[in-house]
Amino acid sequence: MARIVQKFGGTSVANTDRIKAVALRVKAEVDSGNQVAVVLSAMSGETNKLVEYVTSISKLYDAREYDAIVATGEQVTIGLLAIALQDLGVSARSWLGWQVPIHTDGVHGKARIERVETDEMNVRLELGEVCVVAGFQGIGPDNRITTLGRGGSDTSAVALAAALNADRCDIYTDVDGVYTTDPRITPKARKLEKISYEEMLEMASVGAKVLQTRSVELAMKQKVRVQVRSSYNDEPGTLVVDEDEIVEQELVSGIAYSRDEAKITLVAVPDQPGSAAAIFGPLADNGINVDMIVQNISQDNHATDMTFTLPIADLDRAVATLEGNRDVLQYRELRSDKDVTKLSVIGVGMRSHAGVAQRMFTALADKGINIQVISTSEIKVSVLIAEEYTELAVRALHTAYGLDSD
Ligand code: ASP
Ligand code: MG
């Protein structure tokens, strides 16, 4: 007998027929003698609709009321699944965040889970009752409903799995696992049998949107074994696990890309102590997350060019901030570019192998693709290129690292 957390995303509970199909999957686990807690999203599109209701009334809404509204999508799906299960003769009960309770901090709209109380749920699970829990929500120190940020039900599932000491956390979604790269770009992309937490974290943070980034961080910290699998078939999915569990570690596990990047260059910034702090301080104060940074060698010992990347969504605010500080920063010109893509090659294997970056640079050069900015971490090499070459570059790298399926 095992204890399992199953999480179903929005497309898996998109309508009542799909909810009935989910009930059958849950029943199958119960019938094999397992204790099951289920975490659900709202029906797909539902949370967007609720957010639009809010913003159509007020752009400067009260975040507490935003949470009260956008958390309702999950209330519907958990109730419906509990009924569908009961209809199949399976004992089941729905649980809202405050009923568990799932305690979070007080950052409404983007709360972090702090503690999950499981005494009551443990009793119910032991009795064979299925606990159907609303994802994406909790209760804050102010005793009000909080939500965890978009895509947060993945994090609810992992947190619950950790608190319940579950043997597995299965995330059912509309893809059947984690791929070496986006299968829409190359049919040669392969489904990975296993991927390490760290690699998954890098993949999630650079555009592979299978799991919410925070859920992977939590799984890594709490050592929760996560399986990403399809809610449309019974194929095994991809296991997200500790690095030690992966015996035959590839040099590179995946190629990710993100088109949501923009680039800013400040031309002729004074080359003196404090320049970088003066540029990036105000951006950070405005909550703008800068990613890749390059500073050129100074042309005549007095001025240098500073180039960096940031999310496209923050570009306008960043430009406004920098122009507002022009007197202090004393750059000659500000150039910005939205038509860029960040390409990343990810693999824990590169810790112990040289030449990984070189292979990337050569593969891109062979296709005549210019590299604008480079950044590296222990298990990732990223480059910024012109957006129009995205597909070509992804395919070239996929082949260069031997990831193509036969
Ligand atoms: N329903 C929420 C959202 O759409 C949470 C989730 O689905 O993970 O963001
Ligand atoms: Mg999701």
Nearest to 144 by CA among 244, 60, 65: 65
* Atom 4, ligand 1: residue with shortest CA distance: 47
pLDDT at 208: 64
Q: Which atom of ligand 1 is nearest to the CA of 44?
A: 4
Residue among 8, 12, 41 to mutate when testing ligand 1 (max atoms within 8 A of CB)? 41
Please list the rounded mean pLDDT of every run of 10 residues in the chain (406 residues): 96 97 97 97 98 92 96 98 98 98 96 97 98 98 97 97 97 91 92 93 76 94 95 92 82 92 95 93 91 84 91 94 95 96 94 90 97 93 97 97 91
**Domain formed by 3-173, architecture:** 3-Layer(aba) Sandwich (3.40)
Q: Chain-centre distance of CA 298, in angstroms? A: 38
Query: Under a CB-based contact definition with an 8 Å cutoff, are residues 395 and 366 in contact?
Result: no
DSSP state string for 296-331: PPPSSSSEEEEEEEEEGGGHHHHHHHHHHTHHHH--
Query: Which residue do the tokens 């080359």 mark?
Result: 271
Q: Which atom of ligand 1 is nearest to the CA of 48?
A: 4
Residue among 47, 66, 214 to mutate when testing ligand 1 (max atoms within 8 A of CB)? 47
Report pTM. Answer: 0.86
**Token pair for 386:** 């012109």
Kindly list the distances between the CA atom of residue 287 and the CA atoms of 79, 87, 183, 222, 255, in Å, as whole numbers in the listed order: 38, 49, 33, 28, 28
pLDDT at 207: 60
Q: Which atom of ligand 1 is nearest to the CA of 151?
A: 8
Query: Which residue do the tokens 């599932």 mark?
Result: 157
* Atom 6, ligand 1: residue with shortest CA distance: 151
Task: For residues 21 and 314, give the distance between their C-alpha atoms in angstroms, rounded to a whole number.
Answer: 41
Centre of ligand 2 to C-alpha 11, Å, is: 9
Q: What is the largest CA-CA distance in the chain?
A: 80
Kindly list the distances between the CA atom of residue 323 and the CA atoms of 10, 79, 279, 334, in Å, as whole numbers in the listed order: 42, 52, 11, 8
Which residues form the pocket of ligand 1, taking CB atoms under 6 Å from any ligand atom? 9-10, 41-42, 47, 73, 135-136, 150-154
Task: For residues 44 and 295, give the distance between their C-alpha atoms in angstroms, rounded to a whole number.
Answer: 44
pLDDT at 406: 80
Long-range contacts of the stretch 293-299 (C-beta < 8 A, 24+) = 293/373, 293/375, 294/373, 294/374, 298/271, 299/268
Q: Which atom of ligand 1 is nearest to the CA of 42?
A: 1
